């Protein structure tokens, strides 16, 4: 009599591959050299991940990467920079489902609010990209002079800028801080200090997959007070863009920056913290981070 053999089924347990949130420096994702971290939680108090707590050395490394990338980025044509802005918007659009879900699950957004912030983020990238080859014409000038010369005044990138990201609007705030800085050819070291820092590193992956050269945008997650004195006193940082700065932070940045004549610009928070409003974007936000150069050229007769 034939006996039937029972087929044994082995059950295997698969471990989920959890995402590691690192820093974004020079187009790479290094861990913080300090080994420190910040535990991020959702709006419900649920654990999300351990986020890198950037140190002063991480900041110095980011400035080195930003300086290395600045010359070639400023040397690109304004039209090419606008194309790259559009590419960043394309990449963010392709990942909108994951960002909408992250805004809801981590930051506690409603579906409607998450969609609105993501739409505004994508639109703001394209909006500033459109200014890349126009702000020079709007803010530049042909000056009347008495001699037989042409006299032109044109805005040029300042160099390396450190930006303190807004405390709210974890995704749109990033764009609001970095877009008016890099559109003219500056590079930026962005300090992210709010409750949902992981979204900044999610966005860094969007930048990494776009055509943006490494080092143009560097993102450090941590506490701004730990690097504040280094920001103002660093001799290779040319300007500071500060959002939501406290009176004490404004004073510290002002004192430190005065020693090396660093330009510091404090942005005002939009009414009702509405970062989707037109009040949170303007071509005039480009101007604090450009230098106006005047050139003379003799007329030919």
Most confident of 49-58, 222-231, 269-278: 49-58
In contact, 261 and 228? CB cutoff 8 Å: no
Nearest-angstrom CA–CA distance, 237 and 62 = 11
Is the pLDDT reported for residue 4 higher than 60? no
Domains of the chain: 37-145+152-293 (3.40.605.10)
How far from 228 is each of 29, 57, 72, 152, CA to CA, in Å? 22, 13, 28, 37
For the entire predicted model, the pTM comes to 0.90
Which of the residue ranges 6-10, 18-22, 230-234, 284-288 would you say has the lowest mean pLDDT? Answer: 6-10
How far is it, in rounded angstroms, from Cα 151 to Cα 293? Answer: 10
For 110-145, write each residue's pLDDT tens digit: 999 999 999 999 999 999 999 999 999 899 877 788
pLDDT tens-digit profile of 11-67?
A: 678 888 888 899 999 999 999 999 999 999 998 999 999 999 999 999 999 999 999
């Amino acid at each position: 009599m034939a006996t039937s053999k029972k087929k044994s089924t082995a059950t295997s347990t698969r471990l989920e591959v959890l995402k590691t949130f690192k820093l974004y420096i020079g187009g790479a994702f290094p861990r913080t050299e300090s080994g420190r971290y910040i535990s991020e939680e959702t709006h419900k108090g649920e654990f999300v991940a351990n986020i890198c707590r950037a140190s002063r050395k991480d900041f110095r490394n980011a400035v080195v990467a930003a300086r290395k990338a600045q010359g070639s980025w400023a040397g690109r044509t304004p039209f090419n920079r606008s194309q790259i802005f559009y590419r960043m918007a394309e990449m963010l659009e392709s990942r909108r489902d994951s960002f909408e879900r992250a805004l809801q699950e981590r930051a506690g957004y409603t579906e409607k609010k998450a969609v609105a912030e993501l739409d505004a983020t994508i639109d703001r990238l394209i909006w500033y990209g459109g200014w890349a080859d126009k702000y020079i014409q709007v803010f530049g000038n042909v000056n009347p002079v008495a001699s037989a010369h042409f006299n032109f005044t044109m805005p040029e990138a300042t160099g390396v800028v450190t930006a303190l990201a807004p405390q709210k609007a974890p995704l749109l705030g990033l764009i609001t801080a970095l877009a008016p800085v890099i559109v003219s050819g500056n590079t930026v070291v962005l300090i992210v200090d709010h409750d949902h820092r992981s979204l900044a590193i999610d966005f860094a992956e969007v930048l990494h997959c776009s055509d943006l050269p490494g080092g143009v945008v560097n993102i450090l997650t941590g506490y701004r007070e730990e690097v504040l004195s280094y920001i103002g006193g660093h001799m290779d940082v040319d300007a500071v863009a500060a959002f939501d700065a406290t009176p004490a932070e404004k004073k510290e940045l002002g004192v430190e920056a005065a020693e090396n004549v660093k330009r510091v610009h404090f942005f005002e928070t939009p009414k009702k913290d509405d970062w989707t409003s037109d009040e949170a974007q303007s071509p005039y936000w480009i101007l604090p981070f450009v230098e106006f150069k005047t050139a003379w050229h003799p007329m030919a007769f």
